[in-house]
Amino acid sequence: MSSRDAASPSRRRLNPAVGRARNAVKDALEEAGWPSRVLVGCSGGADSLALAAAVAHFARRGEVGGHPLEAGAVVVDHGLQEATAEVARTTAGLLLELGLSPVRVVAVEVRRSGEGPEAEARTARLAALEAEANAWGAQRVLLGHTLDDQAEQVLLGLARGSGTRSLGGMRRVRELYVRPFLGLRRADTVEVCAAEGLEPWFDPTNSDPRYMRSRVRTGIMPFLESELGPGVTEGLARTAAILGRDADYLDSEAGRVYGSLAERAEPGTVFLPGREVRALPAAIRSRVLALAVVELGGQPTFERLAAVERLLDRRGSAGPIEVPGHVSVRRQPRRKDAAPGTEYGKLVFVSHPRR
């Protein structure tokens, strides 16, 4: 057992923030089905470093909740600042001292796609984490997002006019990723690092006004707290939890309906019956249309889906409507022998090969 866990009469009481962090990790791993091998994505910041310390507590013991546990870590160097390579090496050393193994430093190239530097860095980071998880056989990747991050996500979604799924924020367990700290404040992670004797790196981009999330974090959220009173952050995170449950149900119902309606007569083409789709509740209808687009590799947007829905009105153009991702949608004409008002033309979704 590590000296960090060694019991002694003079051992100081467990810091409450450390206890909350460890309990959060245990609860999240239980929800994730007790994975036996996990990776921690760590930037060296307070949030991910505190997460690494909490996970390492269980990894040193080799178990959590009576279930075996191995834990490694990945430090992604985006190469966007001169100091990041040294920060990555220092962070890797701290993670090894904590007892995580293996610890990998992965340098990535952030490709410009026009989505903005934050989204582009995120894409590169997640690709690296998934590759490392596959290489080591990790069942889950743990990330250090906090309740503050969740609140910022909801506020950004509101500003962008996003739908229920986006406003539902991040889920504690979703596919490969586990976010144990969504119920903890950022101040908790700073306290954990102090209690564990860890010195986190404070990324200067987190306070850089050029980035929208930084402006929300350093300007808008403090303003809302001062003008509306304390509890705004918790309220936004609570909104995410409520809308997330709603989105889960609507997505599940839409998936069931889509499975019963979609026809695939040929590769790269999906047919949906216009009459049945038109009769669906709006919240389900838009999701069913989006599922057809996604199945063919497209990216449904609010504006393009609205244009596709207008095809169901049988007024104006029958398409095609072009959707990002090289997908087009058109409405078939009604059969000539169909009785008036008894049949709507099918919607035809087609994937076009990229040239």
pLDDT, tens digit, 9 for 90 and up, residues 241-264: 999 899 999 999 999 999 999 999
- Consult the annotation and say whether 226 binds a ligand: no
47 is in an annotated binding site: yes
Q: How far apart are CA 327 and CA 319, in angstroms?
A: 12
The answer to whether 45 is annotated as binding is: yes
How is residue 279 written in tokens? 């009769």
Q: Rounded mean pLDDT of 168-186? A: 93
Q: Per-residue pLDDT averaged across 304-317, rounded?
A: 82
* Residue 319, annotated as binding a ligand: no
Position 114 scores a pLDDT of: 62
Digit-coded pLDDT (tens) for 22-68: 999 999 999 999 999 999 999 888 999 999 999 999 999 999 999 99
> Is 168 annotated as a binding-site member?
no
Q: What's the distance, CA 198 to chain centroid?
A: 27
Average pLDDT of the residues in 189-218? 85
> What angle is formed at CA 268 by the lines to CA 267 and CA 271, rounded to 5 degrees?
95
The predicted structure's pLDDT at residue 59:
96
166 is in an annotated binding site: no
How, if at all, do strands 327-331 and 347-351 pair?
antiparallel
- Which domains are seen in the chain, by residue range? 16-243 (3.40.50.620), 262-351 (3.30.465)
Q: What is the DSSP letter of 263?
A: B
Q: Which residues of 51-85 are buried (b: 16+ CB within 10 A; e: fewer)?
A: bbbbbbbbbbeeebeeeebbbbbbbbbbeeeeebe
